[in-house]
Chains A and B, each alone.
Chain A
C-alpha cells in the first residue's frame, strides 16, 4: 500500500471527479478518524481550553488509560466555539458516533470515561453527539447541532474547528482541504480567481467591507516586479479572539485561503502579521507552513504548476494600531507602527512600495469554500448586499460565551437571546458593545438590527472587529466608556493630534466625573464642569479629523453610549451617584440594621476607619470618611452591607 502522503496526493488532491473507489473511501474515513480500531479521545486544546485547564484533563486521561490498561489515542483539537464550556472532550469509540462532553475537569474524567467505556453515558457533562453516517448512534443523546448554540449558526469559516487536529495536514486534506488550491492553480488564471471572488461578492471582514475580488483585481493589474499578500491577524481589541481561535483550530484553512489569494494577485510572498504573544497560534501556523511545504503545497513550482510561493510569519509587538493596514505595513518594514496617509492605497503602493493586498483572517478563510462550491453558492447565503457569514466572539455577561458564526442577516436579538442563551445569572440585559473599543453600544431597542454592512453602517458601526460584549444592569456605562477610552489612549500611536491629545483629555474628564473632588470649593469643581461641557465637542473633532481608523472610531464608544445613556452620565455628573455601583468613589455603603449582628469584622477591615459601632450592636458607616473601596461588603458574612 502506498504511504498516506502519496495516497492523499494522487488519489485525493489530484482526483478531480470526487468519486472515490470504495477502498479509497474507507481509507479517507480512517484518515478523517471516523473509522477507527482504537477508541479516540479528542480534547479541545486551543487557548480557551488551556485557560480552562485542559492540560490537567489530558494528564488525568492519560493516567486513567494507563491504570485501566485501555489502549486509546488522545488527539488535540481546536476550539469548537463553546469557550464557556471548556474543557471539552470528545470520544469516538469504534463503530459509534463521536460524542462530546463539557466541563471536563480532571475530577470528572474518570466518571465520564467509565460511563463511555461501559456504554452508559448518563451524565450532566454530555454536550451531544455528532451526525456521522453508517455509525451507531448513542441512545438518548441529543445531536450536537441541535443545541441552541449551534442551531442558529452557519459555519463556513469555522466548519471544522474543534473537530479536526489542527496540526495534522493529512486529516485536513481528508476533509477536503487544499483541493480548492489545487483546482485554482491547475484550472484558473489569476484573472479567473479575481472574477470568481468578485462574483461571489465576498467583502472584507476586517473593516468597512471593501469588495475582496475588486481589491485583488486592482492589485493584480498594478504592474510591478513584486506583489505582496499580507494577512492581518493582529487581533488586539479586548473581547475579540476569533482570529486567534481560527488559526489555532484550523491553520491550514487560512494557509489555503492565503495561497489562493497570493495566486490571484500574482504574489510570490505572503506575510502573516500576528501578535507575538499568540504563541500557540504562531506555533501551529508555523507547523502548518512546514507541513504544507513538505507536502509540496508551498515553495517552488507547486505541484508542477510553475507557481512559487513563500510564507513569512511576521510577529507584531502587540500594538492595537498595527491592525490598521498602513501601520502594519510600516511595522512589517521594520519601522514604527504608525499609519500612513492614504492615498496612495496599499493596492498601489503598499509593502516596500509594491502593490499589496491586505485581508484579514476571516476573509481569507472564506476563499477555499467559494472556489470549491462556486460563487453562486456563496452568493445565495446572506442578504442582498452582504453575502456569506460573519464570525463573532460573544463575551461579557452572557451565558454562552465563545465564538459563533452566523449567516449575514441574523439579528443581534437572535445572537444574544437564542445562541448566547441570554444574560448570565438572571440579571437584566443592559446593552451590548459591538466592535470593541472602536465600536458602538447597542441597547435593547436596536437589537433587531440585522448583521449587514449597510445596516451597521447606518448606525455608525463597522463589521470590523467582531466582538460582542454583553453588559448587564451591574455594568456602569461611564466606567466601561472610561475603560475603552483608556485603552484607545494607551494604544494611540501618537502621530495625529486629535487622537493623541483628544483621547487623553477625554479620559481625564471621564476620570474627573467618576470621582468626588477632595475640596468642593476649589477650582477642581469648575474644571470638572468645564470639562464636561467640552467632552462631546472634543469627541466630535476627534472623529472628524483623526488620521486613521483608530482615531476616527476612538470616540464612537463615548458618543453612542451618550446617545443611549445620557441620564447615566448626568447622574454621575450632577448627583455624583453610580447606579450600578461600579465607580468606587461615587458609591455609598449602608449597613442594614436588621441584618447586622455587630460582629465587628467590617470595622476591623475598613482601611479608612469609616465604620463605627459597638460589638453586638448594629454598626454605622460614616459617609464622609468612606472611600467606597468595598472591602466591608466582601468581609460581611451576613450580607448586611449594601450599596446605594
Chain B
C-alpha cells in the first residue's frame, strides 16, 4: 500500500512496511548511514541516520523505524545535524590520527562522514585506545584501535556467511570485536573469506600485505617473476581506477603486468580448465564406484577450511584436485622452469586473487613441494591496483596484450570459475563429454546463473544417470545442504561451494565497496566472455590437451594425482 508522508515540508510517497530510510532514498533524499546494511535486518546501532519525527520525544533511526502515515519528518533540521555531527566527532575523538598512513586513506567511510558533516575541528578530545593490532592471521590484520564498533563485520560473519568467528566482548568503552577468548585470528574459526574486510568502514580489518616481497623480487635480477591472475580479476580491476563495474580489461591487465616487470603473465583460467578436467574425471569415477558422494568442490580455500574444522568427517567428500591457483603454481615451478631452463628456486610466483583466503591456501603445508612453495605471494585486486599505481601505469589507456602462451590459452568455462555456479557449469560440460563422448548442446545452464539466490540446484539426465548438482555461496546455505545430506538426501552428486555470496566476483579481495549492482555487473561481464569466446569446453582447450599428452598422461592417473592433487586434514580451532 502506498501513502503520503511529509518530509521536510514536502509530500512524498511511502510504502507500508518499509523503513523511513528506504522511503527517503527512493525519493532522492540522502541520509548518511554507517551500520546500515541493505541485505540485513537493521541493527540501529550507529545512530548516524537519525531523523526528527514530529511528536516523537527522541530522534529516531531512519534505517530501523518503519514509516507510518502520520509521520512528519525532518531529515536535516539543526537538531538532527547537531546529533549526527556530534556522533561523528565522538567517533573521531579517540580515533588514531593517522589517516595519511592508513590502509583505507581515501576510501574510508568515517573520513567521508566527517567531510559530509563538515567536521573541521577537534572539539571533543578523548583518550586514544592502546590495543595492539592482531597480526596473527595469515591473510588478515585486525586493528582494534581503528574499529568504530559498527558491528557490520560481526553481522556479516554471523548472518551472511554463518561462521561467527568474531563477536563483541566487554562492555562500555572497553568494548571490542575479537575472536573467541580474545585469541588471535589464526586460532579462531575464521575461514578467511574476507567478507568482514569488505564490510568494514575503516581500516580495522584489512588484508595482510604481500606487496613489499613482490617488489623486492621484481628488483632482484636473479629472480624470474611470474604472475597469474584469477578469472575474476579482469572484470573488477577497472573499478579501482574509477570505471563503472562490469568492464573486462583482460588485455590491458596483461600489458600493465608486463610493464611493471613481471617476466611471464598467465591467466589462472588455464589452471581452472585443468581443475575442471580433473574434478570431472574424479566425479565420474566416484559416481561409478559410489564412494564419497556427494563430491564437494575444493577450489575455494575458505570452504576447504570450513570442512576441515567443522565437518572433518566429510573431508573425504572434497574433490582432491588442487585449486587453479595451486595447479598454476605447480606448473610454473615445474614445467615452466624446465621449459625456460631456470631452476625453480629462482622462479618467484605471484598470483592475483579476488580473495584473501588464497593467501592462506598458498601457505598450506600441503601446497609445498620439497620445501618450495608453489605460490610465493598472493595479491588481492586492491593490492594489485596499488602496485599498478605505484609503477605509474595508466592502465585504462594502454594497448591490450595477450597472456603468455605456455600456460596461457583458456576455455571460457575456465573463466566461469569467477562466479557462483560457474565451477559447476564447467564441470557439467566436461562430465557430459566424459559420459557420452559428445558435447552438451545447451551448454548455458541458466538454473545455475541466477544472481539473487545463494542456493541453487540443477538436475540433468546424462544417458541413464540423473546427475544432481547443487550450488551454494555462503556457509549458512552450505550447512543447510549438509544437514539434508546427513539426513539421507541422495540425489545430489556434486556440490559447488564458494564462501562469498555470488562467488569470487564478490571475493574478500575485491574493490571496496562491492555492492549488489556492482556484483551483478561483474557477473554479467563474465557470462559475456563465455558468450563471445570460441572455446567453451575445458576438454577442447588445445594447450591443455597438449600438456596432458606430453606431461600428465590420463586424468586422475598416478602421475596426475602426484602433480595435480592434494590432501586435506582435520583442523583444531576455537569454535
Residues of chain A whose beta carbon lies under 8 Å from any beta carbon of chain B: 319, 321, 336, 338, 341, 343, 489-498, 500-505, 508, 527, 530-531, 534, 537-538, 541, 543-547, 552
Contact = CB atoms under 8 A, between A and B. Distances in A.
Contact of B86 (A336, A541, A552): A541
Contact of B44 (A341, A493, A544): A341
Given A341-B42, A491-B171, A494-B175, A500 B87 contact: no
Nearest to B61: A341
Nearest to A337: B171
Contact of B123 (A501, A503, A530, A545): A530
B193 to A, nearest CB: 22
Contacts of A493: 168, 171, 175
Contact of A492 (B45, B93, B172): B172
Given A505-B126, A508-B126, A534-B123, A494 B172 contact: yes
Contact of B87 (A497, A503, A527): A497
Given A538-B124, A545-B47, 8 more contacts: A490-B171, A495-B43, A496-B47, A497-B45, A505-B126, A508-B126, A547-B44, A547-B47
B172 A489 contact: yes
A492 to B, nearest CB: 4
A538 B86 contact: yes
A341 B50 CA distance: 13
A503 B126 CA distance: 11
- Which of B86, B167, B168 gathers the greatest number of chain A CB atoms within 10 Å? B86
A531 B171 contact: no
B173 interface: yes
A505 B91 CA distance: 11
Nearest to A488: B172
Interface in B155-187: 167-168, 170-173, 175
B446 interface: no
Contacts of B124: 505, 531, 534, 538
A503 B172 contact: yes
Interface string B89-128: 0110110000000000000000000000000000111110
Nearest to A339: B44
A538 B90 contact: yes
B148 interface: yes
B137 interface: no
Contact of A545 (B83, B93, B170): B83
B79 interface: yes
Interface in B61-100: 61, 64-66, 79, 82-83, 86-87, 90-91, 93-94
Interface in B171-219: 171-173, 175
B149 interface: yes
Contacts of A531: 124-125
Contact of B91 (A492, A497, A538, A545): A497
B59 interface: yes
Given A497-B148, A498-B90, A544 B58 contact: yes
B46 interface: yes
* Chain B interface residue number, banded: 35 or more
B90 A505 contact: yes
B507 interface: no
Given A495-B151, A508-B126, A501 B171 contact: no
A496 B47 CA distance: 7
Nearest to B44: A341
A343 B91 CA distance: 27
17 contacts: A343-B66, A489-B172, A492-B172, A493-B168, A494-B149, A494-B168, A495-B151, A496-B47, A497-B87, A497-B90, A500-B175, A501-B93, A502-B90, A504-B126, A545-B47, A545-B59, A545-B87
Q: Which 3 A-B pairs have the closest CB atoms?
A: A494-B175, A341-B44, A501-B90
B36 to A, nearest CB: 12
B125 A544 contact: no
Given A489-B173, A538-B124, A497 B47 contact: yes
Given A489-B173, A494-B170, A544 B61 contact: no
A527 B168 contact: no
A500 B42 CA distance: 19
A492 B48 CA distance: 18
Nearest to B123: A534
A546 B47 contact: yes
A310 B170 CA distance: 33
Contacts of A534: 123-124
Nearest to A551: B47
Contacts of B45: 495-497, 547
Among B45, B64, B66, find the residue whose CB has the most chain A CB atoms closer than 10 A.
Answer: B45
Nearest to B82: A541
Nearest to A493: B171
A263 B287 CA distance: 58
A538 B86 CA distance: 7
Contacts of A545: 47, 50, 58-59, 83, 87
A508 B128 CA distance: 12
Contacts of B65: 341, 343
Nearest to A535: B124
Nearest to A523: B125
A494 B46 CA distance: 10
Contacts of A497: 45-48, 87, 90-91, 148-149
Contacts of A494: 149, 168, 170-173, 175
A493 B45 CA distance: 11
A338 B90 contact: no
Indicate the member of B47, B59, B83 with the most A CB atoms within 10 Å. B47
Nearest to A547: B44
Contacts of A530: 123, 125
Contacts of A490: 171-172
Contacts of B173: 489, 492, 494, 500-501, 503-504
A544 B61 CA distance: 11
A189 B96 CA distance: 62
A212 to B, nearest CB: 22
Which one of A490, A531, A544 has the greatest number of beta carbons of chain B within 10 Å? A544
Nearest to B47: A545
Among B91, B126, B172: residue with most chain A CB under 10 A: B172
Interface in B228-274: none
A534 B93 CA distance: 12
B91 A501 contact: yes
Given A338-B168, A341-B42, A505-B126, A500 B149 contact: yes
